Amino acid sequence: MESILEDLEQAEGLAALQSASEEIRDHYGVDHVVYHWVDSAGDQYGCGTYSDVWRDRYLEQNYLRVDPVILGCFQRFHPVDWKRLDWSSKPARTFQAEAIAHGVGNQGFSVPIRGPNGQFALFTVSHSCDDDMWATWTDAHRRDLILIAHTFNEKALEFEPDRAPEQSQALSPREVDAMTFLAMGYSRAQVADTLSISEHTLRVYIESARFKLGAMNTTHAVARAMSRGLIVV
Sites of contact with a copy of itself (CB under 8 A): 5, 38-42, 64-65, 70-72, 74-78, 89, 91, 114-120, 143, 146-147, 150, 153-154, 157, 165, 170, 173, 176, 180, 182-187, 215-220, 222-223, 226-233
> How many Å apart are CA 4 and CA 12, to the nearest integer?
14
| Euclidean distance between CA atoms 32 and 38, whole angstroms | 19
Q: Quick one: 133 or 170, whose CB is closer to DNA?
A: 170
**How many residues sit in the footprint of DNA (CB under 7 A)?**
24
* Burial grade of 70 (CB within 10 A; 0-12, 13-18, 19 or more): buried
94 touching DNA, by CB under 7 A: no
173 lies in the binding site for DNA (CB under 7 A): yes
Among 205, 224, 225, 230, binds DNA (CB under 7 A): 205
Gap between the Cα atoms of 21 and 98, Å rounded: 23
User: Please, what is the minimum distance in Å from the beta carbon of residue 189 to DNA?
Assistant: 6
Among residues 168, 203, 223, 228, the one that binds DNA under rule CB under 7 A: 203
Please tell me what DSSP assigns to residue 106.
S
Whether the CB-CB separation of 53 and 99 falls below 8 Å is answered with no
58: left (phi over 0), alpha (psi -120 to 50) or beta: alpha
Residues near DNA (CB under 7 A): 89, 172-175, 187-189, 195, 197-198, 200-201, 203-208, 210, 216-219
